[in-house]
Amino acid sequence: MSHTVESSLSFFSPVSSKLASSNTNKNEKEINQTTEVLLPLSPLFDATIDDDYLAVQSLLSKNYDVNTKDIDGITALHLCAFFNCVATCDTLCARRAFVNAKDNQLLTPLFYACKTNCSTIVRTLVDHGADCDAQNKNWQTPLHICALS
């Protein structure tokens, strides 16, 4: 990824708030290890983070809900956008994942893709009907996030 761990975590507030409360003096390697533990650990989310689209297809064929959210409102599609998981994003969109799902900060997957400069995923989400005018809690749109990133 082309962005720093710190800048990503500050945008990805559910993870960053948990990290901040645990220990602020961690080096980057420890932050990466901690982040992996703090992320949702459902099989669908694990396969998504690994960009294992075949595992995602298998799970969805076993009736896993493509739009399942964690306690922070994050879906597998949010994770695809954050981790630049192109193949899995295509798979989820083909299975009708809700491209305008909002997390607890009112961020859609398009916000995450813009923040992490995942242009391929931005295109995929827009092609599948992502709302480019969606607003987060700060009244920003994905275009604002692109300009700031």
Rounded to whole angstroms, the Cα distance separating 98 from 88 reads 14
Rounded to whole angstroms, the Cα distance separating 72 from 14 reads 6
User: What's the CA dihedral at 58, 59, 63, 64 to 10 degrees?
Assistant: -160
Q: For each of the chain's 149 residues, which pLDDT tens digit applies?
A: 333 434 444 555 554 443 343 344 444 444 444 444 455 468 999 999 999 999 999 999 999 999 999 999 999 999 999 999 999 999 999 999 999 999 999 999 999 999 999 999 999 999 999 999 999 999 999 999 988 87
pTM: 0.75
Q: CA dist 30 to 7, 18, 50, Å?
A: 16, 14, 19
| 143, 113 contact by CB (below 8 A) | no
What structural domains and CATH numbers belong to the chain?
Answer: 40-148 (1.25.40.20)
Nearest 5°: the CA angle 35, 107, 50 is 40
